[in-house]
Amino acid sequence: MYWRPVTPMDKDLKDIFLNALEEHQQKLLRICSVYARDDDDTQDLFQEVLINVWRAMPSFKGNASIGTWMYRITLNVCLRIRSKEIKKQRKMLRLDSIRVISLQNESRDNGMDAKLMKLRSCIKTLNDADKAVITLYLEELPYKQISVITGLRENTVAVKIKRIKTKLLNCINEMS
């Protein structure tokens, strides 16, 4: 890659990026965590999200809020990487009988109570589309904003959320 001087436009983009990141970082991290296997994977996904957001900054038109735009990029990155991992897994020989299960990650979730752990576990069993919808809902985004991010109609979002809540409740009850 070649070196070029920093322009005033770059400085403006950097400021916008840093301000938006400061405001939305925790939500982006939580979205990444839904698609990640563990904390390290969450950080890797988050880093990939930041790279993609930064690269896309010049194309941000302001048609939606910067937060909505960042959530959409986050979901797209998470889904793309997850899709690649699934394809890669299909190509590999599965050695399920030799798999070593590490419980260390479960115990590292400081302060996370049993109910939250059950909820996270149940969310991870959902398909990717449902995961996206419920994750945004749990981040307290309005249906309209979820609609913009996912590309679903607003009433479809409402119906999906109701059905996903029922699935999650059943899953949590089965764990108890």
Q: Which of 58, 82, 100 is the last residue of a domain?
A: 100
55 is written with which tokens?
A: 């690269």
| Whether residue 165 is found in the same domain as residue 114 | yes
pTM of the model: 0.67
| Whether residue 2 is found in the same domain as residue 86 | yes
Burial code (b: 16+ CB inside 10 Å, e: under 16) for 69-92 equals bbbbbbbebbeebeeeeeeeeeee
Domain count, the chain: 2
| Whether residue 117 is found in the same domain as residue 72 | no
What pLDDT score was predicted for residue 57?
92
| Whether residue 80 is found in the same domain as residue 31 | yes
| Whether residue 86 is found in the same domain as residue 135 | no
What pLDDT score was predicted for residue 7?
55
What residues contact 84, with CB distance under 8 A and at least 6 apart? none
Higher pLDDT, 66 or 114: 66
Is residue 144's pLDDT more than 90?
Answer: yes
| Whether residue 45 is found in the same domain as residue 92 | yes
Query: For 50-94, how does the pLDDT look when each residue is reduced to its tens digit (9 = 90+)?
Result: 999 999 999 988 888 999 999 999 999 999 998 887 776 665 544
For the domain that residue 12 is a member of, what is the CATH number? 1.10.1740.10
Range of the domain at 149: 109-176
What pLDDT score was predicted for residue 78?
93
| Residue 3's pLDDT band (cuts 50, 70, 90) | very low
Query: Which 8-state DSSP code applies to residue 11?
Result: H
Q: Which long-range contacts (CB under 8 A, 24 or more apart) does 144-150 make?
A: 145/64, 145/65, 145/68, 145/71, 148/64, 148/68, 148/72, 149/68, 149/71, 149/72, 149/75, 150/75
**Highest averaged pLDDT of the listed ranges 81-85, 101-105, 110-114:** 81-85
> DSSP letters of 34-69?
HH-SSHHHHHHHHHHHHHHHHHHGGG--SSS-HHHH
| Whether residue 147 is found in the same domain as residue 87 | no
Query: How many percent of the chain have pLDDT more than 90?
Result: 60
| Whether residue 82 is found in the same domain as residue 121 | no
Q: How far apart are CA 155 and CA 138, in angstroms?
A: 17
What pLDDT score was predicted for residue 53?
95
Q: Which of 81, 100, 119 is the last residue of a domain?
A: 100
The lowest-confidence range among 4-8, 44-48, 81-85, 169-173 is: 4-8
